[in-house]
Amino acid sequence: MRFLLFCLLFLYFLPSTAQKRCEYDVEVNDSIGTLKTTKEFLMHERKFGNNESYVFFSLSNDNGTPVLNFQLVHKNSDFIKAYCIDAKTKLYLQLENGKIITMLHTDVENCGSFMRNDERNIRILSANFLFLKNNYDELKSSPVVSMRVKYTTESVDYLIKKELQSELLNQFSRPQNYFMDYLHCVEN
């Protein structure tokens, strides 16, 4: 009987100890409101020849509203195709449990910014997506296995790795567990 009680207590406290400590890049609390934004996290990395693409996530709490900050970075010595977003853009997250979470983009049309550095072209697209309340708890309990972004002209799929040894950042991470580890950082 003690063993059963111990197992139940262990399972109860396991999720709370599995969450990562919150580290913020931005923490503002003034007369206008509050804003907290977590550090950027590399969710996807792909290098093939001279073509590189990266997807970064960070989470924000803007006056009580949780927001997913999405950033797509492409680097190439050749032409880089522009991906644009508008009010109809959606981000879909497929969870390991089979459920699909939809997130909505609220901003106006944006095709990112373009720059040239060391004979390489760089294109950066940033967007903010809102969580839907009915799917919020699902993200805290199941890993993300893939992501689809419906841009203005096409949809692009990104596989989310269970473990990622980044060449860009030279660090190890577990992108599939991102929401399970960090979503608590932007809750009220």
In whole angstroms, how far apart are CA 23 and each of 39, 183, 186? Answer: 6, 12, 11
**How confident is the model over 102-130, as a mean pLDDT?**
90
- pLDDT interval class at 5 (50, 70, 90): very low
pTM reported for the whole predicted model: 0.85
Q: Residue 95: which of 5, 178, 187, 12 has the closest Cα?
A: 178
- Check residue 7 and give its pLDDT: 44
Q: What is the mean pLDDT of the chain?
A: 88
- pLDDT interval class at 18 (50, 70, 90): low
**CA pair distance 153, 151, nearest whole angstrom:** 6
